[in-house]
Structure 1
Amino acid sequence: MLSEADPVDPNPPAALRIPLVGVLHVERTVPTIAWGEGVVLRYGGFYGPGTAISLASDAPMSTPIRKRWFPIIGDGGGVWSHVHIDDAAGATVAAVEHGQPGIYNIVDDEPAPVREWLPVLASALGAKPPRRIPRWLGRLAAGEVATLMMTESRGASNEKARRELAWQPRYASWRQGFAQGLG
């Protein structure tokens, strides 16, 4: 699990190198600004109303999950961290009011492997369980980045945000959030 002291991805695949250079630059420079208190928030995957994962019929991630076009790749062992959009907003306010210069992970309390959370999300969306495909096919069908996210992501800890920002997510687990907070 990643803490704020860990770089986002020290050895990214080629497709992510340029965007991550920008992220790493922000994470190095913003906390050191001289004219204010520079706070960087690393959000987990958003879900809830108005996001890509919601009950909306046109939600960009929910739609392929409903159609079973979003399979579990390989062992599905990549660990993802999620955050409900309302919890992300609350953490942002807490960071503005209480944050010290630095980086904060804004995620729920339960990072989980794809093989665990994706079937629960599919059920919450009224879909059949996701299909499973081997890693080699995932690379061909979805690309290297998606395959790595499904198999090797590490998830993140919110311990620092809870402690220093006095922030507590309403949806402490994606399980509760997927069941109650997608609408």
Structure 2
Amino acid sequence: MRIFIAGASGAIGGHLVTQLVARGHEVVGTTRSAAKTDALRALGAEPVVLDALDPDSVADVVARAEPEVVVHQLTALGGPADFRHMKRMAAATNRLRVEGTDHLLAAARAVGVQKFVAQSNAMWMERTGGPVADEDGRIEPNPPADAEEGVAALRHLEEAVTGIGWAEGIALRYGGFYGPGTGMSAAPDAVMGVQIRKRKFPIVGGGRGVWSLVHIVDAASATVAAIERGKSGIYHVADDGPAPVHEWLPELARALGAGPPRRVPAGLVRLLAGKGPVDLMTRARGISSEKAKRELDWTLQYPTWRTGFIEGMG
């Protein structure tokens, strides 16, 4: 198939391009930076520089690409690990999940795209029920005030994509990415890795929030499976080891050669960083990916983070 990837130079994009090209697909991949076009071309994609918030540019680029499938992997996550920069990244990502999604959907519909696959995430599953949610679970309806914009952006993306009637619309709720090219890797500039090595990513409160993680190679292979075999709706994409923060974070620190994470009272973090980060560290729920395995014939190269942290950090 001819596949258009918006955000092909992001964390998952390079892995996704590589896997799709290896399977014989033609890939057009976008980037915000002209400096990244050579890297995309080397992976086998046809690179395009795109401002995804410009609807006319999006319409023009998608029309010229004439894809059968559009894959939306646009985020603005990356760069320095300081708090102010992270707030800007989150705000920019929210715009891409709302305006960028709408622009891509309009452009895809205009050219008769057959399938639209988009990146969501599972960090804000509804905070009721057991520690693990399946696809029947919904996005948290009452998030902390400082997380409302981000959660609303996720909800908009999922509803807009899965509600299209003119093509297959698929939202992938990914677990937290780790591995090469992600913020959670052994690279010296990996955002979360830097914080962990400096012992600035603590266990908040009891660290009882359950996180589901997924190696970036496995996230890409699930996306390929959704492109080739997925049906309209939501699929969860994570490994088989959902675990509370107090369990997996010390193991990640050890894998990165860092000291054990500090423990910080939830009340202090709430004062310094807001209620949203505290909620993620203390109340998050994990996800089950059984639907993706069953319906997409998806298998994990790294079944749990316990092996992935040792073998797959890059």
Pick the TM interval, shorter chain.
over 0.9
Look up the match of 1:153: 284
Q: Matches of 2:150 and 2:200 in 1, distance apart?
A: 26
Q: Matches of 2:271 and 2:284 in 1, distance apart?
A: 19
Look up the match of 2:310: 179
Look up the match of 1:135: 266
- 1:52-88 CA-to-partner distances (Å, cap 9, x unmatched) read 0111111100011011111101010000011111101
Match of 1:96 among 197, 202, 227: 227
Q: Matches of 1:147 and 1:16 in 2, distance apart?
A: 11
Pairing 1:8–2:139 present: yes
Deviates more, 1:16-25 or 1:35-44: 16-25
Q: Is the 8 A contact 2:196 2:261 kept in 1?
A: yes
Look up the match of 1:45: 176
Per the TM alignment, residue 3 of structure 1 is displaced from its structure 2 partner at its CA by 1.2
Match of 1:62 among 183, 187, 193: 193
Q: Matches of 1:141 and 1:64 in 2, distance apart?
A: 16
Q: Is the 8 A contact 2:205 2:282 kept in 1?
A: yes
Which one-letter code corresponds to 1:7 in the other structure? R
Number of paired residues? 183
Q: Matches of 1:107 and 1:116 in 2, distance apart?
A: 17
Q: Matches of 2:153 and 2:246 in 1, distance apart?
A: 30
Which one-letter code corresponds to 1:32 in the other structure? G
Which one-letter code corresponds to 2:183 in the other structure? A
Q: Matches of 1:60 and 1:143 in 2, distance apart?
A: 20
SS at match of 1:164: helix
Q: What is the RMSD of the two structures over their aligned residues, measured on CA atoms? A: 1.1
SS at match of 1:38: strand
Pairing 1:79–2:210 present: yes
Deviates more, 1:138-147 or 1:48-57: 138-147
Per the TM alignment, residue 26 of structure 1 is displaced from its structure 2 partner at its CA by 2.4
Q: Is the 8 A contact 2:146 2:274 kept in 1?
A: no
Per the TM alignment, residue 147 of structure 1 is displaced from its structure 2 partner at its CA by 0.8
Per the TM alignment, residue 95 of structure 1 is displaced from its structure 2 partner at its CA by 0.3
Look up the match of 2:248: 117
Select the structure with the greater relative contact order (CA < 8 A; seq sep ≥ 6).
1
Q: Matches of 2:195 and 2:159 in 1, distance apart?
A: 36
Q: Matches of 2:180 and 2:195 in 1, distance apart?
A: 17
Per the TM alignment, residue 105 of structure 1 is displaced from its structure 2 partner at its CA by 0.7
Q: Name the TM-score, length of structure 1 as normaliser.
A: 0.96
Q: Matches of 1:151 and 1:32 in 2, distance apart?
A: 32
Which one-letter code corresponds to 2:234 in the other structure? I
Per the TM alignment, residue 145 of structure 1 is displaced from its structure 2 partner at its CA by 1.1
Percent identical? 56
More strand per residue: 1 or 2? 2
Structure of higher CA gyration radius: 2
Per the TM alignment, residue 2 of structure 1 is displaced from its structure 2 partner at its CA by 1.5
Q: Matches of 1:48 and 1:93 in 2, distance apart?
A: 18
Q: Matches of 1:19 and 1:73 in 2, distance apart?
A: 21
Look up the match of 2:12: none
Deviates more, 1:78-87 or 1:132-141: 132-141
